A and B are shown apart, each in its own frame.
Chain A
Amino acid sequence: MSHDHDHDDENALRAEALEALLTEKGLVQPALVDAIVQRYEQDIGPMNGARAVARAWVDPEYKQRLLSDAWQAIGELGVTTGPELTPIVVLENTPAVHNVVVCTLCSCYPSSVLGLPPTWYKSPPYRSRVVREPRVVLGEMGVDVAPDVEVRVWDSSAEVRYMVLPERPAGTDGWSEERLASLVTRDAMIGVARPGVGDA
């Protein structure tokens, strides 16, 4: 659980003083802060990853490219992403395998394609538990994984970033890519939810 709010006033004052100092010293441009924030609030978010997932669901060749060279495949869609400083690996869920992503060391996350991470992803309960009892954590978050399905947990401990390609839900035959993309949630691409027609 985040306790950011407990120190809000103190942090707000401190951040303001620091920004003033760094602006005077020429390290920080306040307008660039605004621009960076705007990108993550408006342009870069789970809709980018969702478009790649939807394309992979309708185009098997695209899916192969997404699994073998994710940046190139995501680039084909012309979506706005963050800086491509690091490789991204897409993990395919199948009837036999369920993937889930975590960063136990800090909170590394595929921000370039999913936007900034949610608070729960950055929280001690998720970071400590999903590596030790992934099925229990997934169950609590609403994903029951059958005993014969292997759960693969990916700890983003270096600079490679991971995104899950969920299974296409039943009952979506003939759907357009755009409609399919609307089913793909951020949590499904982390691996703690399944896209479902009923949830859309």
Chain B
Amino acid sequence: MGGMHGFGPVAVEADEPVFHAPWQRRVLGMVYQVVGFGWANIDAFRHGIERIDPVRYLQAGYYGRWLASLETVLREAGVLAPGEVDARLAGRPAPPASVPRDGLPHPTAGFVRALDATPRYVSGQTVRTRNANPAGHTRLPCYVRGKRGVVHRVHPAFVFPDTNAHGAGEQPQYLYTVRFEPAELWGPDAEAGSALHVDLFEPYLEGL
């Protein structure tokens, strides 16, 4: 959503509770178990959120989006049959395609991975982000595509969300914090005296 217009002021709720309704607690606890025990990985879960109809995405609220994606990823994992939750709500028997599974497939072991290769870029180096618009999951925000920045910090390698979200493996990649100047992102009328720092995976970058 970075840079989009029209959403108005930030509405701050004084003395906000941790949850606003009991069902939000249940959704959080379910998602933490489903993701934590590896029935679906965090990247697939985020991609499930991104595929929500845009109008519904904005109307559903945070935990509403979580609930929708939880159903999506479990259906794609074969744990839920299509329409199984609707059937339960209507008091009908579960459709036969439901696949109960044994064991825990891929428990989460953090996201940092060791790589034999060394990082391609170093701190202080000028890089440009790729102008890529993949249909699937990516963590390259739209507002920094095709932009020039400077590597601020080189991190260890992390699980690569772009492949992990789609069952194509972890394929770990080095991560970089890249600093962008506001005029590079927003043009000559950009607010002065600020800088954007964005965490970007090595495949998102090219040297200059």
Q: Is the CB of A124 within 8 A of B1?
A: yes
B2 touches A128 (CB 8 A): yes
Q: How far is the CB of A92 from chain B (nearest CB, A)?
A: 14
Scan A93-125; emit 1 where CB is below 8 A from any B CB, else 0.
Answer: 000000000001111000000011011101111
A17 touches B177 (CB 8 A): no
A2 to B194, CA, bound (A): 28
In the docked arrangement, what's the CA distance between A188 and B135, Å? 37
Q: Kindly state the interface size class of chain B when it binds its partner.
A: 35 or more
A33/B26 contact (C-beta < 8 A), A21-B85, A134-B191 known: yes
A26 CA to B143 CA, complexed, in Å: 42
Any B CB within 8 A of the CB of A6? yes
Taking the nearest CB of chain A, how far is it from the CB of B106, in angstroms?
13
Q: How far is the CB of A2 from chain B (nearest CB, A)?
A: 4
- In the complex, what residues of A have CB within 8 A of residue B13's CB? 118-120
Among A2, A11, A20, A156, the one with the most B-chain Cβ atoms within 10 Å of its Cβ is A11
Instruction: Choose among B10, B59, B89, B191 the residue with the greatest number of A CB atoms under 10 Å from its CB.
Output: B10
Q: A137-B10, A159-B111 are in contact. Are A115 and B201 (CB under 8 A)?
A: no
- By a CB distance below 8 angstroms, the chain B residues around A156 are 199
1/0 contact string of A1-33 vs chain B (CB within 8 Å): 111111110011111111111100111110011
Which residues on the A side are within 8 Å of B150 (C-beta)?
Answer: none
Q: Is the CB of A155 within 8 A of B199?
A: yes
Query: Which residues of A are at the interface with B, using a C-beta cutoff of 8 A?
Result: 1-8, 11-22, 25-29, 32-34, 36-37, 40-41, 83-87, 104-107, 115-116, 118-120, 122-129, 131-137, 140-141, 147-160
A-B contact pairs, 22 of them (CB 8 A): A4-B60, A4-B63, A5-B20, A7-B64, A14-B67, A20-B88, A22-B30, A27-B34, A33-B25, A36-B33, A105-B1, A119-B11, A120-B10, A123-B11, A124-B1, A128-B7, A134-B191, A136-B191, A148-B193, A150-B194, A152-B195, A158-B199
